Amino acid sequence: MRGGEALIKSLKDQEVDVVFGYPGGVLLPLYDVIYDSDMRHILVRHEQCAAHAADGYARASGKVGVCIGTSGPGATNLVTGIATAYMDSSPIVAIAGQVATGLIGNDAFQEVDTIGMTMPITKHNFQPMNSQEIPEIIKTAFYIAGTGRPGPVVVDLPKDVQEQELDMDKEVRIDLPGYKPTRKGHPLQIKRAANLIANSKKPVILAGGGVILSGSSEELIKLAGIIDAPVVTSLLGKGSFPEDHPFSLGMLGMHGTKTSNYMVDECDCLIAVGCRFSDRTTGNVAEFAKNAKIIHIDIDPAEIGKNVEVDIPIVGDAKITLSSLIKALNQNNTSGNTDEWMKYVQNFKRSSSPRTSFNDVPLKPQQVIKEIMNATDEETIVTTDVGLNQMWMAHYFKVKHPRTFLSSGGLGTMGFGFPAAMGAKVAKPETDVVAICGDGGFLMVSQDLATIKEYDIPVVICILDNRYLGMVAQWQKLFYEKRLSHTHLGEVPDFVKLAEAFGVSAYRVEKPGEVQETLKNAINSGEPTLIDITIDPEEILPMVPPGCGLTEMVGEYKIEIESADGVPYYREAEERAGD
């Protein structure tokens, strides 16, 4: 057997059922193997989309996603997607072609130092120098990508290695003396945490992406129920806790809900699970949860104490650690401790829920997102791009299940939403998948309309089209005297015509009520569809300016209050939120 065949066989041994890729010169031997293989290969139209699709596949399914790109520009194009996966702890294996071993270092055609280039954005990377190493490297790559704190692994595969014969009967072992993730939290620390929680009067739980990665939503819900504590999430934590649950306060941080930001500010005990306290989550660290003792559960010891000083660190897998914590808490009598706090939290939440219904034309994004929610069911997977579209979704869209809200958090990669949706749909063909994009981000990856058409991957793309680089324009409006430097994106393209050029059905929507109807029809059609939604370019989202504490929000925060007879009425907040 040759190296290329060994690679495909090794992927199959890892139960890989699909790869997203783009061939090239040095990958000819591998693609010649794929030609005869029953391995499903999806030809994307740009390598960045292969990486994002593999990432979307991984986030939707929990399995390791695989992407392939050729040497040189293929590998550099993969880099953005790999870095995106790295920042959000998403398990992918990226296979990059490399020039033949004899040419490495000679600045050969399409040669780039993929290993050096991807070192800081991967969990690990490999370069097999002879084909005999392939089975072991692939097995190890999947093990590293999918265990501990997940992340991307790169395999840099020279051309001649794909052609060399090897012996496939040799035993394949994983030998990693330097890699032993701690899964079980320290019992003494868990006991200390349980005591702290039992004695707290105003606890808040902060759930991050780690809860989703470890599959511990059930434990999280149980924990919140036992201690009677509200739950806030980071962006990547959306879906870890059902957002229609009365205890859910929504996302925390720079673009978080007012309730989350204020309650974290006031709490006396913050139980952070599987999150890394990013600057977008904490605001000014010196002001963050300043009245609280902080418990931090994370599988990556390096995240503990990195950004925020914590009182009780617990290194471990969230699922295992939360189970132990729940057991420890059951031995403490906690009932009734937080009654007053919960009443206060619920009142605060009710009186500061953001208004979501608007009849305006052009459409308000809040209204659009409400209609998207009405058109989808709770199993629907939504992906977002990056910018205002993402933050509006994070703020207003209620997610009920893990792995149904996929968004590029850490790296903030524009262009993520559409290809990630493509990957998610391939992973979960029976589930509806909707990509919520901005016009800027979608245009960065629009060539992959060809992919969803050719392979009949029926994702629905909703473009929140304001013709602005909305988030950057918002900052310019708030902090740079409204000097909108290069954030207006002009009048072209016509997204409907663009989609139609690829044979993808497309609709333009401009009035209230149309989003819901058009989206519902698009989902039911079972065909790839694009919906271009014209929205109000002036609408911005209240935010915490960089360097400020979480309660120092600026921007108008429109409040929705339910009156006694259950009919909602609206009150424009007269003062600026936070005053």
**Which residues carry out catalysis?**
47, 109-110, 159, 471
| Binders of other proteins in range 305-324 (CB under 8 A) | 305-306
86 or 507: CB nearest other proteins: 86
Q: Which residues of 243-258 are buried (b: 16+ CB within 10 A; e: fewer)?
A: beeebbbbbbbbbbbb
Q: What is the Cα–Cα distance from 212 to 59, expressed in whole angstroms?
A: 9
Structure token digits, residue 2? 């040759």
Name the one range near other proteins by CB under 8 A: 96-104, 177-185, 200-208, 240-248. Answer: 177-185
What does the block give as tokens for 419? 């290809």
* CA diameter of the chain: 79
Nearer to other proteins, 305 or 568 (CB): 305
- Smallest separation (angstroms) from other proteins to the CB of 302: 4
Among 73, 102, 105, 116, binds other proteins (CB under 8 A): 116
Which range binds other proteins by CB under 8 A, 9-17, 117-125, 236-244, 458-466? 117-125
Site map 257..296 versus other proteins, x via CB under 8 A: ----------------------------------------
Length, in residues, of the chain? 579
Strand partners, 543: 554
What sections of 173-243 are H helices per DSSP? 187-198, 209-213, 217-227
On whether the CB atoms of residues 461 and 531 are closer than 8 A, the answer is yes
Structure tokens at 487: 């954030």
Does residue 317 contact residue 184 with C-beta atoms inside 8 Å? yes
Ranges within 119-148 binding other proteins (CB under 8 A): 119-120, 123-124, 144
Is 179 a residue that touches other proteins (CB under 8 A)? yes
Using the contact rule CB under 8 A, the part of the chain among 52-60, 115-123, 159-167, 347-355 near other proteins is 115-123
Figure out which of the listed residues 178, 336, 490, 566 binds other proteins, where binding follows CB under 8 A. Answer: 178
> What SS3 state is found at 372?
helix
Phi and psi angles of residue 499, each rounded to the nearest 5 degrees, phi first: -65, -40
Q: Which is nearer to other proteins, 9 or 306 (CB)?
A: 306
- State the minimum distance, in angstroms, from the CB of residue 280 to other proteins: 19
Of the two residues 181 and 215, which places its CB atom closer to other proteins in the complex?
181
**Coil, strand or helix at 439:** helix
Binding of residue 301 to other proteins (CB under 8 A): yes
For other proteins, the closer of residues 14 and 551 by Cβ is: 14
| Residue closer to other proteins (CB basis): 302 or 492 | 302
- In one-letter notation, the amino acid at residue 265 is D
Part in contact with other proteins (CB under 8 A); list of ranges 68-76, 118-126, 272-280, 356-364: 118-126
> Shortest distance, CB of residue 178 to other proteins, whole angstroms?
4
Cα(122)–Cα(120) distance, integer angstroms: 6
Q: CA torsion sign, 403 to 408 to 414 to 419?
A: negative
What are the distances in angstroms from CA 7 to CA 45, 69, 128, 170, 274?
A: 23, 14, 11, 15, 34
| Shorter beta-carbon distance to other proteins: residue 124 or 395 | 124
- The mark string for 157-176 relative to other proteins (x by CB under 8 A, - otherwise) is -------------------x
Q: Among 300, 527, 536, 556, which residue sits at the site for other proteins (rule: CB under 8 A)?
A: 300
**What does DSSP assign to residue 298?**
E
Number of residues that bind other proteins (CB under 8 A): 16
Q: What's the alpha-carbon Rg for the chain, to the nearest Å?
A: 24
Residue whose C-alpha is closest to residue 553's, from 405, 395, 324, 407 = 395
CB of 310 to other proteins, least distance (A): 12
Amino acid residing at 518 = T
CA nearest 422: which of 84, 65, 15? 65
Site string for other proteins, 64-103 (x = CB under 8 A): ----------------------------------------
For position 238 contacting other proteins by CB under 8 A, the verdict is no
Strand partners, 155: 95, 126
Indicate the angle between helix axes 3-13 and 28-36, nearest 10 degrees: 60
Smallest distance, other proteins to C-beta of residue 304, A = 8
Q: How far is the CB of 137 from other proteins (least distance, A)?
A: 12
Q: State yes or no: residue 177 binds other proteins (CB under 8 A).
A: yes
> By C-beta, is 179 or 475 nearer to other proteins?
179
Residues that bind other proteins (CB under 8 A): 115-116, 119-120, 123-124, 144, 176-179, 300-302, 305-306
